[in-house]
Homo-oligomer: A and B are copies of this chain.
Amino acid sequence: MDKRPIGVFDSGLGGLTTVRELCHLLPGEDIVYFGDTGRVPYGSRSAETIVKYARQDVAFLRTFDLKAIVIACGTVSTTSLDILSQENPMPVLGVVVPAAQAAARTTKNGKIGLIGTQATIRSGAYERLIHSANPDAQVLSRACPLFVPLVENGRFRRGDIVIETVVSEYLAPLKEAGVDTLVLGCTHYPLLEGVIAAYMGPDVQLINAGAEGARAVAGMLEQTDALAPNPSGGTYRYFVSDRQEDFSRLASIFLGWDVTEAVGQVDISQY
């Protein structure tokens, strides 16, 4: 039993899809969430800048007494997981290891598609992890830099010609190559699940990296006997680096419920 909260962070709002999964799996856990809304997006930045920002995000979260840190961001998970794990004394879990393992397990024809931000694709982290789990698997990857701004502007619904055009352009090479498994390697992408599933067809399995990450957290807490003492009623605290109002307005799209708690603002450059 460990009643300390779990720290969760993301470049902005996408990580809330992982919080939603954590809430379903572990409704008794207290969560402290930080979204770096003052510097979002991370996915188009250099690895060097992403590592710097991620260290500051973790330094802020560690002002709380946490039992674990969850990187609810595909970009940070692929560029900074090893560094953050080495530098911090508590478990640091990302979304990339569990998602890569799930993909390696799921594929039948050995052809795995991967979509993510530019930084995620550039890192090559998914390829390395998938190959170590399944050396014969072929990974076809594609950066989808417009997905995050389109989702954040509410364009994620089927029938919207803008998102449908962009989805079909980005995913056409993966569909043509015959992948049977597709990793949604960014925590914004679960909102595009409907459009992507419709385009790829019923024979392609989608792997939601954020949900796989949440399952890995649940497994780790169970194995280390670190679950919260109460099975329900966990509390949520949210912090952002830009205006709180904008966060509260958009958060419900990702979270699936309204943020009624007070949201704190943090000067993240000071950490």
Contacts and interface: CB of A to CB of B under 8 A. Distances in A.
Contact of A242 (B37, B46, B165, B243): B46
Nearest to A148: B149
A221 interface: no
8 contacts: A38-B39, A44-B152, A48-B243, A146-B153, A146-B155, A149-B149, A149-B150, A161-B161
Interface residues of A, number: 24
Given A46-B242, A242-B45, A162 B153 contact: no
Interface of A: 37-39, 44-46, 48-49, 145-146, 149-150, 152-153, 155, 161-162, 165-166, 241-243, 246, 269
**What's the number of copies of this chain in the assembled complex?**
2
Contacts of A162: 162, 165-166
Given A38-B49, A48-B243, A49-B243, 13 more contacts: A38-B39, A39-B39, A44-B152, A46-B243, A46-B246, A49-B241, A145-B149, A146-B150, A146-B155, A149-B150, A161-B161, A162-B162, A162-B165
Contacts of A269: 269
A163 to B, nearest CB: 9
Contacts of A166: 162
Given A146-B150, A161-B165, A45 B38 contact: yes
Most chain B CB atoms below 10 A, which of A44, A166, A241: A44
A153 B43 CA distance: 13
Contacts of A150: 146, 149
A270 to B, nearest CB: 9
A38 B269 CA distance: 12
